[in-house]
A and B are shown apart, each in its own frame.
Chain A
Amino acid sequence: MLKAENALKKHSFNFELVPIPRNLSSDCGSCIKLKDHIEDVNPYIEDIELDRCFVFDGKEYKEVNRMGMW
């Protein structure tokens, strides 16, 4: 995650590190909340393994792949 953070900072993406929402996982770690679209970000973090990606539409989370497709 911190490798991704460095890459996102380097390319000035809009993001925040936040605790993982409990309705997605009971993991006690953090995740990256992107304000940009994952498909735009993906080329800059291609070499980084992502656990899971979700899109939030204001009501619910939908799991997508790193290209933003579900």
Chain B
Amino acid sequence: MIYLDNAATSFPKPKETVEYANNFILNIGGNPGRSGHALSTEAARIIFETRERLTTFINGKDSKRLLFTQNGTESLNLAILGLFKEKDHVITTSMEHNSVMRPLTFLEKEKGVEVSIARCSKQGRLDIKEIKRLIKKNTKAVIINHGSNVIGNVQPVEEIKYTVRDIILILDACQTIGAYPIDIERDNIDILCFSCHKSLYSIQGLGAIYVRDGIKLKPLKFGGTGSKSEFTEQPDFLPDKYESGTPNTPGIASLLGGLTFIEKTGLENIIKKKMALREMIIKGLSAINGIVIYGNPDKKENVPVISFNIKGNLPSEVGYELNKKGIYVRVGLHCSPLTHKTIGTFPEGTVRVAPGHFTGEEEVVKFLEVLREIARK
């Protein structure tokens, strides 16, 4: 089995992920912050420590502003549905995932929120001048897909924030967190949304959002928080205001394991290893007749996500052939129809390959060998 679908979720997970989740399930298991007994308090301690460590990881200032969600999509929904009011204007790009486009389309239809889409080049590059041109008096935020989940190119966040100045910058970092350096302070990011089960190595069902001080969002959910239980109003303090209901504590414990693995291994080493695999794949693909690689694979500003097609073959056919050989990739539109329109691969899509930290070079060799056979047919 060769798993090359790490852009969907990383697999396998580091042993620390499994150990931390296992320890929680076997030995702790309490509902955090609810019951006041030792197991409940221990569960709350795990969440507290994970929140602190993750905040440090992104260089955030206040761990209370780091909120756990179910996934990157929920983080983006909280940012988008929680921020915009009627007649607000928002700018986004033609490289966005549907976790941005669908809530925006909903707001456009239901609340008259005005949505402008900055066209990116065929290589996925955002033209900063285009963003500048689209800014209006009522522009409240700019939403950017930091690293494309289709072709892996990374947008110039610092430059974008410099251009939009006081307009809120919402960054979808699902593909970049843990795969590309992110620094909330250095990059002036106002709202950072991400999933934790990709390059942060938690189990599935966990995401997070960091909201800069001074930005108020309407909560997506209301309910029990284990605090201020005598009142029927939602507490107004963080993180409780946004974290109603029993959290995914096993997932959060697994994230603590994932962060421990990253700290032990070194983020730079992880990035270096994955980028070397990426280079190996690109070099191999480029040498196969009939393969078209999308994006700008020679650029440094990329995460290890590669899209290609074999001329004369549908991506679904290529995926089927690879699957038969035990090689797992993702084909189609990757929930990003706009991206595929931008790079010229709509509606068939592409074959997407995403190596991970645990991908072996020999697995890449095997993948390329099988692909050569498919291309020859």
Contact = CB atoms under 8 A, between A and B. Distances in A.
Nearest to B34: A28
B59 interface: no
Interface stretch (A13-21, A38-46, A54-62): A13-21
B41 A17 contact: yes
A19 B37 contact: yes
Nearest to A5: B45
Interface in B216-258: 226-230, 237
B124 to A, nearest CB: 41
A25 interface: yes
Interface of A: 1-3, 5, 17-20, 25-30, 49
B230 A2 contact: no
Contacts of B230: 25-27
Contact of B36 (A2, A30, A49): A30
B190 to A, nearest CB: 23
Interface of B: 33-37, 40-41, 44-45, 48, 226-230, 237
Given A2-B48, A3-B48, A28 B35 contact: yes
Contacts of B34: 28-29
A27 B34 CA distance: 9
A2 B229 contact: no
A5 B52 CA distance: 14
Given A25-B229, A28-B36, 20 more contacts: A2-B44, A3-B48, A17-B36, A19-B35, A19-B36, A20-B36, A25-B230, A26-B230, A27-B228, A27-B229, A27-B230, A28-B35, A28-B226, A28-B229, A29-B36, A29-B227, A30-B33, A30-B40, A30-B44, A49-B237
15 contacts: A1-B44, A2-B48, A17-B41, A19-B35, A19-B36, A19-B37, A26-B230, A27-B226, A27-B227, A27-B229, A28-B34, A29-B33, A29-B227, A30-B44, A49-B237
Nearest to B37: A19
Centre residue among A17, A28, A30 by max chain B CB count within 10 A: A28
A31 to B, nearest CB: 8
Q: Which 4 A-B pairs rank lowest in CB-CB distance, beginning with the nearest?
A: A19-B36, A2-B48, A26-B230, A30-B36
Contacts of B228: 27
A1 B37 CA distance: 14
A10 to B, nearest CB: 14
Contacts of B48: 2-3
Contacts of A30: 33, 36, 40-41, 44
Contacts of B36: 17-20, 28-30
Nearest to B38: A17
Contacts of B237: 49
Contacts of B35: 19, 28
A52 B211 CA distance: 26
Nearest to A31: B36
Counting chain B CB atoms within 10 Å of each CB, the highest count among A1, A26, A29 belongs to: A29
Determine which residue in A3, A18, A20, A30 has the highest number of CB atoms from chain B within 10 A of its CB, and name it: A30
Contact of A26 (B40, B41, B44, B229): B229
Contacts of B40: 30
Contacts of A27: 226-230
Contacts of B227: 27, 29
Contacts of A3: 48
